């Protein structure tokens, strides 16, 4: 399937581009959660959302909110690879005055819809944007990516409860279910069945392999035509694609030194 192949190839390019951030983040950045979201971003930006169509106005242009704002380098790399962000801007990452901060900051020109410094706020904003579209008859959909650890925040559940009340079938929640938080496993901190909880509140829920572009594409295109908000629980691996980082909590935020960088570049097929 051509679209699946394109998403797989885009995912590979995103991981390669992410390693270009190493030169400007001497003290580390959030590798683990940025790598786990790559296929999700590739599928959304290449095949599901209409963001690449630059001539669309606000009322039509789909909205993406990275609620887990520490996944910034994944988003920046995705935007660069699809042409919404100039690749030369990568060199400014984390520099004083840069528009590319470690935690994403709202920037209309850079197609960043939400400031993600505080966890737990993105879905509430997504509910507001989706409700606005309903009330004003705008055609855009709103997509919100949260981390599973972010589900510990009470504000997320307030948004989860309100979305079905307003029949926001134009709202898509994607959970990056990589199973790890800053220092521990998700289930060892707050053990919940995410799917059952969302279903009980009135969401239409699907579960997929979050690194399978085919499963992600099929899921987004298989939701029912009803009044329920949509949720996709994407089972992922934190640090996916770089063996030293996969499922290792320390890589939530850490510095990639010279020896590790050589290995990482080899594994993602990047130039030395």
**What is the pLDDT at residue 271?**
66
Give strand pairing partners of 111.
Answer: none
Contact 245, 32 (CB under 8 A): yes
The series of mean pLDDT values per 10 residues for the chain, 272 residues long, is 93 94 77 95 96 82 94 94 87 81 87 85 96 97 95 94 98 94 66 92 98 98 95 96 90 82 87 58
**What is the pLDDT at residue 230?**
98
Q: How far apart are CA 46 and CA 3, in angstroms?
A: 8
**What is the pLDDT at residue 192?**
86
pTM: 0.94
Q: How remote is the C-alpha of 204 from its chain's centroid?
A: 19
**What is the pLDDT at residue 219?**
97
DSSP strands (E only) in 112-242: 142-147, 171-177, 204-209, 230-235
Q: What domains can be seen in the chain, in order of their start residue?
A: 2-268 (3.40.50.970)
């Amino acid at each position: 399937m051509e679209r699946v192949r394109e998403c797989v190839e885009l995912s590979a390019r995103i991981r390669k581009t992410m390693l270009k951030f190493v030169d400007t983040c001497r003290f580390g950045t959030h590798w683990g959660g940025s790598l786990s979201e790559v296929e999700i971003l590739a599928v959304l930006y290449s095949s599901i959302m209409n963001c690449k169509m630059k001539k669309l106005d606000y009322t039509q242009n789909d909205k993406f909110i990275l609620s887990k704002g520490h996944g910034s380098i994944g988003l920046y790399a995705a935007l660069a690879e699809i042409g919404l962000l100039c690749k030369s801007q990568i060199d400014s990452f984390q520099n004083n005055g840069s528009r590319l901060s470690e935690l994403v900051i709202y920037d209309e020109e850079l197609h960043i819809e939400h400031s993600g410094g505080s966890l737990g706020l993105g879905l509430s904003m997504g509910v507001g944007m989706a409700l606005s579209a309903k009330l004003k008859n705008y055609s855009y959909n709103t997509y919100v990516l949260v981390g599973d650890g972010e589900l510990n925040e009470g504000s997320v559940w307030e948004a989860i409860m309100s979305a079905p009340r307003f029949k926001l079938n134009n709202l898509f929640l994607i959970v990056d279910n990589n199973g790890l938080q800053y220092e521990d496993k998700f289930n060892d901190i707050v053990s919940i069945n995410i799917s059952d909880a969302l279903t009980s509140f009135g969401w239409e829920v699907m579960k997929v392999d979050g690194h399978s572009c085919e499963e992600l594409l099929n899921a987004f295109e298989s939701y029912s035509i009803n009044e329920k908000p949509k949720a996709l629980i994407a089972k992922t691996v934190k640090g996916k694609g770089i063996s030293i980082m996969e499922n290792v909590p320390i890589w939530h935020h850490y510095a990639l030194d010279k020896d590790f960088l050589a290995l990482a570049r080899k594994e993602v097929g990047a130039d030395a």
